[in-house]
Amino acid sequence: MEKLDLLKFWRVFGKRGNFLVMGIALVVMMIFFPVDGKFRYEYKKGSPWLYETLESPIDFPLLKTEEEILQEKSRAAESMIQYFRKDDKVASEALALFSQKCFQDSVSSDLQDLLTDVLGRIYQKGILPEKDLEQRTVFVQRGRNASEEIEMDLYTPKKALKLVQSELKYAFPLQNADSLISRLSIGEYIRPDLSFDKNTTEELHRRAADYISPTKGMVYAGEHIVSEGETVTAEIAQMLDSYKVEYKKSIGFSGNPLMLHLGHALIIIMLLLMVYVAIYFSDPDVLRHQNEFNFVIFLLCLNFVVTMLVRKISPDLLYLVPFAVLVLYMSSFLYNRVVLPVYFIAMMPLLLVAENGVELYTIASFAGSIAFVSFSLYERGWLQFVNTIYIFLACALVHIGFKLIASGTIFPLESKIYLYLFIASILVVITYPFVFLMEKVFYMVSISTLKDLSDTESPLLEELATKAPGTFQHSLQVANLAERAADAIGGNPRIARAGALYHDIGKLANPQAFIENSSQGINLHEGLSPMESSKLITKHVEDGVAMAEKAKLPQIVQDFILSHHGHSITEYFYNVYCNNGGDPKNKMAFTYQGNLPSTKEEVVVMIADAVEAASRSLSEYSEESISNLVDSVVEKRIAGNQLIRSDVTFKNINTIKSVLKRQLREIYHARIAYPKRKA
């Protein structure tokens, strides 16, 4: 017995294809594993420092907190520096017109020279539109150069006119300055040449708000940071955060690069082995089916690569990744018992490389668990988006929990993180349809496809119900029996039901050849030899496969058609043949040329098919007769070596028999005879 267990263990663990796939996964994950070293300290504000006393080994800048940077940006945003552009054409046109005026009015050269000089100096400085000048800085662009000016040093038309008046009074004290200004219309030649540039002002304003120094000092080598057992305060956490940033930027991994890659390889190997062991103890059939194992390892690699690429772009974007969709992909093809263990292991790289690894791992774990449950309730049409709400609420609550642990408050609200979590929740639903692509790539059948196949309104089953109603009713009964039995022994009830519904579709080629479809008084086998009748009966397997291929049914369904009779014989016609003097050794002419069942589901359908067909010949449906019938059918299959390729145990066989007996008793339970009413 011990030797047999070891052989079984080696058949599962020693499959070369699995190790080849794991080797490929190792190479892929090594390529995308970050080559920087990992900061060795884990700490949290408000918690004690669990390591030895830390003194800074290097000089590093002390970074400002996000709150400090936001405050500085807010202050910078409050002060706006206005930007003006000078138009030199205004001055040249005004001075030219003034020169013509002086010539027409025969103004003396002394007066003209004075006024031209004053106006030139005013225009050289710049004239603003009429306003109250303030003692503040503005930018003035003259040609290609811009300079900072004090607004009070510039002119407005009113201020410029006062300067002209003052200069006239000083140069020509005997003349009336106001009269000269009025006669020469000086005000007409004082025009604003500085225009406000709104776009440039707003751009400068934005830059001033954005360009804030991220540092506020230095921590020098040898300076004390934190003592062993000391509580990590906000100030200490700020120093540790700054040290971590500088460590990753300028130090990183300072050891032997070969050792770094060796460490990465060991971590990945252990991760793959954990997945392998988790599958072995939850559903070892996955290890036997190469396509299913390839699918699991592909999802593991996909998750790893996406995590590393997103982390490289921005660590915060990891909140945007819809990790929970992996649960939906796996639950579409694998048993529920294997999904969550593999998923929790697949999320472990978050703990290794993410800044907030523990928080992200917890968020991903909760999101996957919620999706696992909620999608079983809301999986059709628009109701799928109801799952988005549940997933988002779970993720948001986990984030709030970590926020409270870290700072004791949820404020300030990190709106960007909540937005990322909400988008990730929507992406879980949006990316779920890719399951149909994976179905084609890995040659598997999803739950959605099985549900569609099991719909009795599908074209092939509708044709079966119309042309071979007896066979259709038989298939329905077999499907019900097989579904219950498969579930009882840990098989996939959906696969068993789909296989049972289609196992006899080959009878469509010649429905009247089978007793359940033959019309009363018509016997298609009359006049045929036992061999010819047997060939007519066994041909429904071959015909069924041809119909399944034409209808493009999945291979897993075609396997049921090939295996539901295995290599059994058409016993009725074989016995007639022997009774008529035929050679009993000539069994091949009466033997089905199908496949022996290899899965639990195929075994269940084979037994349920035989039991349901045989039950119709019982003269009475007592508990004893039903029990004897089921035992007899199963013993014949075992004695005929029909189950030797499958991995069903005697415990499974006993469970199948028990379920079938109970189901048949419920189907053929006694009914009450209704009394007739007296006239």
DSSP letter string, 274-321: HHHHHHHHH-THHHHSHHHHHHHHHHHHHHHHHHHHHHHH-GGGGGGS
Cα angle at 627 between 624 and 629, to 5 degrees? 110
Kindly state the average pLDDT of the residues 635-660: 93
Kindly state the average pLDDT of the residues 402-416: 83
pLDDT at 7: 47
Judge whether residue 9 has pLDDT over 60.
no
pLDDT at 209: 61
pLDDT at 215: 87
Cα angle at 289 between 3 and 24, to 5 degrees? 100
* Boundary-marking domain end, from 394, 412, 441: 441
Provide the token pair at 574.
């074989």
pLDDT at 14: 53
Judge whether residue 16 has pLDDT over 90.
no
Residue 273: which residues within 8 A CB-CB, separation 6 or more? none
Do residues 463 and 435 share a domain?
no
pLDDT at 40: 75
Do residues 341 and 478 share a domain?
no
Kindly state the average pLDDT of the residues 567-581: 93
Q: How far is the C-alpha of 552 from the C-alpha of 554, rounded, in Å?
A: 6
Which residue bears the tokens 């067909």? Answer: 613
Q: Which domain holds residue 398?
A: 2-37+256-441
pLDDT at 3: 43
Do residues 183 and 311 share a domain?
no
Cα angle at 340 between 339 and 341, to 5 degrees? 100
Do residues 663 and 638 share a domain?
yes
62 part of a folded domain? no
Count of domains in the chain?
Answer: 3
Q: 367 and 395 in contact (C-beta within 8 Å)?
A: yes
Q: Provide the CA 69 distance to its chain's centre, in angstroms.
A: 34
Q: How far is the C-alpha of 449 from the C-alpha of 499, rounded, in Å?
A: 12
- State the helix-helix crossing angle for 88-104 and 109-125, rounded to 10 degrees: 170
446 part of a folded domain? no
246 part of a folded domain? no
Higher-confidence residue of 332 and 70: namely 332
Q: Kindly report the CATH number assigned to the domain that includes residue 569.
A: 1.10.3210
Do residues 541 and 648 share a domain?
yes
Judge whether residue 13 has pLDDT over 60.
no
443: left (phi over 0), alpha (psi -120 to 50) or beta: left
Judge whether residue 179 has pLDDT over 80.
yes
pLDDT at 252: 59
332 part of a folded domain? yes
Q: 255 and 261 in contact (C-beta within 8 Å)?
A: no
* Boundary-marking domain end, from 441, 461, 481: 441
50 part of a folded domain? no
Considering the chain, what is the average pLDDT of its residues?
A: 88
Do residues 402 and 502 share a domain?
no
Which residue bears the tokens 């029909």? Answer: 642
CA dist 470 → 383, 466, 516, 527, 558 (Å): 38, 10, 5, 23, 21
Higher-confidence residue of 86 and 67: namely 86
pLDDT at 632: 95
Higher-confidence residue of 654 and 147: namely 654
Q: Which residues pair with 218 in a beta bridge?
A: 61
Q: Which of the listed ranges 3-12, 105-114, 244-253 does the model predict with the highest average pLDDT?
A: 105-114
Kindly state the average pLDDT of the residues 441-445: 89
pLDDT at 140: 92
Do residues 435 and 488 share a domain?
no
- Specify the DSSP class assigned to residue 679: -
* Boundary-marking domain end, from 150, 183, 210: 210
Kindly state the average pLDDT of the residues 103-117: 89
Q: 284 and 600 in contact (C-beta within 8 Å)?
A: no
Judge whether residue 406 has pLDDT over 90.
no
pLDDT 10s digits, 597-628: 999 999 999 999 999 999 988 888 889 999 99
Do residues 90 and 138 share a domain?
yes
pLDDT at 674: 61
Higher-confidence residue of 677 and 215: namely 215
Q: How far is the C-alpha of 568 from the C-alpha of 562, rounded, in Å?
A: 12
At residue 135 the predicted structure's pLDDT band, cuts being 50, 70 and 90, is confident
pLDDT at 2: 40
Do residues 23 and 137 share a domain?
no
Do residues 397 and 491 share a domain?
no
Judge whether residue 87 has pLDDT over 70.
yes
460 part of a folded domain? yes
pLDDT at 573: 93
Do residues 14 and 141 share a domain?
no
pLDDT at 17: 87
Do residues 89 and 174 share a domain?
yes
231 part of a folded domain? no
46 part of a folded domain? no
At residue 303 the predicted structure's pLDDT band, cuts being 50, 70 and 90, is very high
